[in-house]
Structure 1
Amino acid sequence: MTATIDRVTIRERATSPPARLSMTSGSAPGLLDGAWWPRSRDLFRELPALVGVLDARWGRITRVTVNPTHWPVIPRKVPAAGHTVHVGWFAEEQDPHKMILLSYTAGRWDLLVIPPETGAAAAARLMAAAATPGGLLTASRLMADESAIREVVEDRGRESEWDSEGGSAPPPLRNRLGLLTSAREG
């Protein structure tokens, strides 16, 4: 059996876009040290840019762990910034929206991983919230809060669209007992 390696694909995968990263600036300890917004769910392609930025700031990143919930393929090793980063995963023990990065020289960082399909406004809110020094919200809590914000914004959009198409319903009436009734039951 003969195996062929497609060199074009290897070169394309080795090229990483710049990392979209926000880190805490203060020294107050928190649950998260910042946020990362990858462009895809391909760790092999995305990690080199992230590691390159963090290596320059804090020393060589040697190990990364993720929760496999949002990563379809988790490579065991990824070449990045002139060295190899070992990648592991924890399904139950690690928040599905968090990545842990380890360095021999500087310790550990916990990053919120913002899904690639997230809009720019939501990503900006999440990056700012995760980079707040001394923040006490978990990665999943930040994502849940953002989801709630998105629902409120969508509801307001639907209401304004409905109002522009003919107005809103009259306010509900209350009967003698103070219970809400429809206008027809009045």
Structure 2
Amino acid sequence: MRADSSSPDTERLSIKPRNSESGHVDGAWWPRSRDLTAEVPELATALDGRIGPVWRVAYPPSGWAVTVREMIYQGRLIKLEGIGSQNVHIVHVTGGSMHRVTLLVIPPGTDELAAEGVLAAASGQNNVTCPEMLLDEFGARPTPENALARWESEGGRGEIAGAGG
């Protein structure tokens, strides 16, 4: 099942219990699209009880369609800060009195079962697995475009790790 046809009650945010080790991420988020301004309101609402009113979202510009640097949600200013050096699979959300959560971003088009697996694993108590390994474990990381392009440019005859020629 695809993300855009998932059931309405499918969880899209999962956070570790408060007494957990942080590790690489504090949980995972499965946005419906790569339009950050459209996704932030639901995320801010979901995180309000955990970190207070969201006032900043730091994101990797290569992973999102963002046209504004700030937005107003529920009468509050939220800064959208693109950080080029940030991991493409991560967003940092800051709220309240500088409380911050680091979330693994599950690609919007991910299969529902894979997304649910990543959500559960990333928010598991004391999970310290890196973002890429969490996505790979459930088949949720997209194939790099450059690898696909190279394979196609070689007529599909390029060597693939573990494949015979």
Instruction: Report the TM-score, using the length of structure 1 for normalisation.
Output: 0.64
Is 1:88–2:58 an aligned residue pair?
no
Shift of 1:24: 1.0
Structure 1 equivalent of residue 26 of structure 2? 33
Aligned-residue sequence identity (percent) comes to 34
Structure 1 equivalent of residue 118 of structure 2? 126
SS in 2 for 1:51: helix
SS in 2 for 1:127: helix
Bigger Rg, structure 1 or 2 = 1
Structure 2 equivalent of residue 52 of structure 1? 45
For 1:73 and 1:114, the matched residues in 2 are separated by 17
For 2:141 and 2:68, the matched residues in 1 are separated by 34
Structure 1 residues 115 and 150: CA distance shift in structure 2, 3 A? closer
Shift of 1:59: 0.9
Q: Which amino acid aligns with 1:139?
A: P
SS in 1 for 2:138: helix
Structure 2 equivalent of residue 115 of structure 1? 107
Structure 2 equivalent of residue 72 of structure 1? 65
Cα displacement string for residues 77-133 of structure 1 (whole angstroms, at most 9, x for unaligned residues): 1222331110111122x2110110112425110001111100100000000111012
For 2:72 and 2:141, the matched residues in 1 are separated by 38
The runs of 4+ residues in structure 1 deviating greater than 6 Å are: 148-151
For structure 2, list consecutive stretches of 5 or more residues without a partner in the other structure: 1-7, 144-165
Structure 1 residues 118 and 149: CA distance shift in structure 2, 3 A? closer
Would the aligned equivalents of 2:106 and 2:140 in 1 still touch at CA under 8 Å? no
Structure 1 residues 80 and 138: CA distance shift in structure 2, 3 A? farther
Structure 2 equivalent of residue 22 of structure 1? 14
For 1:128 and 1:75, the matched residues in 2 are separated by 32
Superposition RMSD on alpha carbons, in Å? 2.6
Shift of 1:72: 2.7
For 1:149 and 1:42, the matched residues in 2 are separated by 18
For 1:33 and 1:97, the matched residues in 2 are separated by 13
Cα displacement string for residues 132-152 of structure 1 (whole angstroms, at most 9, x for unaligned residues): 12111122221233338999x
Would the aligned equivalents of 1:96 and 1:140 in 2 still touch at CA under 8 Å? no
Q: Higher RCO, 1 or 2 (CA under 8 Å, sep at least 6)?
A: 2
Structure 1 residues 110 and 139: CA distance shift in structure 2, 3 A? same
Q: How does 1:135-146 map to 2 (within 5 A)?
A: 135-146=127-138
Shift of 1:26: 4.3
Structure with the larger helix share: 1
Would the aligned equivalents of 1:32 and 1:130 in 2 still touch at CA under 8 Å? yes
For 1:49 and 1:66, the matched residues in 2 are separated by 16
